[in-house]
Amino acid sequence: MNIRTSLVLGCVLCQACPAQAPAPATPPATQVKKTSPYHGMKLSEKARNYYPAAWGVDHLRATYTSSGNLIRFSYRVVEPKLAKALGDHEATPVLYAPRSNAMLQIPTMEKIGQLRQTGGSEADKEYWMVFSNKGNLVRPGERVNVIIGKFHADGLLVE
């Protein structure tokens, strides 16, 4: 046999019998879960009383919808007279995300209007508004600020 024929046969044999894949490495018996070195802070009594006293609302929450295209801001009215500013139709609500410098607005539907509850507010009722999150600029675990006229809810955690 000449060198060319042996080279071709060698290549064919190498392709016909692929090399065995190495055995997968066994996972370690105990895996250490990494935790954050930072500890969560609980609200102080003063901070817990600020929003009900100044704005007549509590239970402020920002939640990420399952599709990720919307961020829902909800609150419970404690004092309807003070909470009137949040339901004001003239005020333009904005959700600001400091990490991405995104300013999310409430989408307006043709036949429905803005996706928010406006008008008179009643005590012990929960109200909501939805902000458009196209492009997933805001993600769960981030801190956001909700601004409605003079009302500012800073540092809300998106759940």
User: pLDDT (tens digit, 9 = 90+) per residue, 2-18?
Assistant: 555 554 555 545 555 55
The average pLDDT across 114-130 equals: 84
pTM higher than 0.85: no
Q: How many CB atoms lie within 10 A of CB 83?
A: 25
Rounded to whole angstroms, the Cα distance separating 105 from 87 reads 15
Contact 80, 56 (CB under 8 A): yes
| Residue 85 identity | A
The conformation of residue 68, written as its DSSP 8-state character, comes to S
The token pair that represents 2 in the structure block = 């000449």
Which residues neighbour 130 within 8 Å (Cβ) at sequence distance 6 or greater? 65, 70, 71, 72, 73, 106, 107, 115, 116
User: pLDDT (tens digit, 9 = 90+) per residue, 52-75?
Assistant: 999 999 999 999 998 889 999 999
